[in-house]
Amino acid sequence: MDNLNLINTFAEFKELKNIDKSTMIGVLEDVFRHLLIKTYETDENFDVIINPEKGDLEIWRNRTVMEDGAVENPNQQISLSDAKKIDPTYEVGEEVADEIKLESFGRRAVLSLRQNLASRILDLEKASLYAKYSEKVGEIVTGEVYQVWKKEVLVLDDEDNELILPKSEQIPSDFFRKGDTIRAIVSKVEMRNNTPVIVLSRTAPEFLERLFELEVPEIFDGLITIKKIVRIPGERAKVAVESYDERIDPVGACVGMKGSRIYSIVKELKNENIDVVNWTNNTQLLIQRALNPAKISSINIDEEKKTAAVYLKPSEVSLAIGKGGLNIRLASMLTGYDIDVYREVEEEDVALDDFADEIDQWIIDALKGIGCDTAKSVLELPIDELAKRTDLEEETVKEVVDILKSEFE
């Protein structure tokens, strides 16, 4: 077994991904020095010369020339007669360097060296891969779907590193086949059984944020800031944006001319509806914008409990809540307030029971008995008809009507 037979397997190391040359040379030298120590009990008088570009490796042993018969350590010393066989000009006290061939270590030692080297290189690759992707957490990566399983998808990057996209990190309407190109962010990198596991996500808010940075130059350049993103993946998202340049309309810039910029983002997210709103530190205004497209009549905010009671006209309530409650859920997530929606009671529809301190209860009951349970329903009927239907005195009915009218004056 000669040098080349072993070094040929090392030649491919220069093609190894994620490992720089200096690190690789260090590992190769360390492995060979370990073999020298095992064989000769020391490596101090050896030079290990490696050229990974050519796949060359040389081991030279340095020994001191001694008088014949005076050699005590044949690993560090050489007799004068043996030295002269190498070069007749050698004298006692000089240093002799002779090359050690791999075959001199024996087949078993070389096989052990190969296994040790392969193990060290594998550990290096794992550590390098972990470090590489740890720096990419939160960034978008593109890969090719290699295998689709029930609970996850195996993705290969451009260097054939394996990445995992769990089912829980996929948009509900995602559907992948082998060979598909996929975009996602690096969600986390962790070591499992001494192997780096790179987990991707398409549901994280950061994925949407990175997509906006790609599609909206003003965000990438820092002219527009994304203050907060909330998502219900595949359904709806709200993005709050802000610009410190008054000349820039942040919402308009994000949406683009006729929705041109946001279209590709929506397409990537499987038609997820995206609402872009102007950020503000005014809580009341932010809640109002977050509930868009609903038009709000009034808001009562409890800062301590972080709650907001929102009053709207009956026709606006369904818009505020949204399909399946998505709009109000996302508005609560965006603003940080628990939002309760109430139908606004119109002024003309004040309940009669609210006048119990001015009108006797038996009179209110008589009016309710003919179907008039609100102020409006009473005022819509003539006094004589009210008196006739309730069997009340006209004078009493006039007094009730005056009280009800004064409420709206």
Among 45-49, 55-59, 98-102, 239-243, where is mean pLDDT lowest? Answer: 55-59
- What's the longest Cα–Cα distance across the chain? 146
CA distance 334 to 291: 10
Distance in angstroms (rounded) separating the CA atoms of residues 243 and 364: 57
CATH code: domain 3-131 is: 3.30.1480.10
Average pLDDT of the chain?
Answer: 87
Instruction: List the CATH code of the domain at 219-343.
Output: 3.30.300.20
**Residues near 303 by Cβ (< 8 Å), separated by ≥ 6?**
283
pLDDT computed for residue 316 by the predictor = 87
pLDDT at 91 exceeding the cut of 80: yes
Residues 387-393 have a mean pLDDT of 88
Q: How far is CA 362 from the centre of its chain?
A: 66
| Overall CATH class of domain 144-201 | mainly beta
Give yes or no for residue 384 having a pLDDT over 60.
Answer: yes
Residue 19 has a pLDDT of 64
Is the model more confident about 102 or about 83?
A: 83
> For the residues 147-156, what does the mean pLDDT come to?
95
Residue length of the chain: 409
User: What is the distance of C-alpha 170 from the center of its chain?
Assistant: 12
pLDDT of residue 148: 95
* Long-range CB contacts for residues 188-192, cutoff 8 Å, separation at least 24: 188/137, 189/130, 189/133, 189/134, 189/137, 191/130
Residue 2 has pLDDT above 80, yes or no: no
User: Does residue 310 register a pLDDT over 60?
Assistant: yes
| pLDDT score recorded for residue 15 | 52
User: Once rounded to an integer, what is the mean pLDDT over residues 217-246?
Assistant: 93
Sequence ranges of the domains in the chain: 3-131, 144-201, 219-343, 350-408
DSSP letter (8 states) at residue 262: H
148: part of which helix (H) or strand (E)? strand 140-148
